[in-house]
Amino acid sequence: MPDQVCEMCEMTDILTHADHYECATCGHEWPIDGPVGEPDGNRIVKDAYGNVLADGDIVAMIKDIKLKGSSDVLKVGTKSKPIRLVDGDHEISCKMDGISIGLKACFVKKVTA
């Protein structure tokens, strides 16, 4: 397996499929013959358990996360307002506890109603 690093989460736990690579940590996929980058067309974002996320979903934290530049901590189980998927190093933009934040999908789970 070639040395691959996921562009989204920078982890090295990469699965090789017949025509693409897949990050086992965040679910990001990219073609084998192309450079690491944004997949063409529809981007698929998965939570820590492999559930596909979409705009308007509600997510909950799966581990405590300390907010940078603050003494605040998002605790396990904290639920978000409806999320918005965005491009960049953090896949999710949402509000939790009244704070607008960007999250990586590997730290949340999708909440079913």
| pLDDT, position 2 | 46
Q: For residue range 25-37, list pLDDT tens digits in order.
A: 888 887 877 554 4
Rounded to two decimals, the pTM is 0.61
Domain ranges of the chain: 1-43, 48-110
What CATH class is the domain 48-110? Answer: mainly beta
Half-sphere exposure (Cβ direction) of 104: Cα atoms closer than 13 Å: 17
Residue for token pair 């607008």: 100
Q: Quick one: 47 exposed, middle or buried, by C-beta within 10 A (0-12, 13-18, 19+)?
A: buried
- What would the DSSP string read from start to end of 52-94? EE-TT--EEESS-EEPTTSS-EEPTTPBPSSPEE-SSS--EEE
Nearest-angstrom CA–CA distance, 21 and 36: 9
Average pLDDT of span 90-105: 90
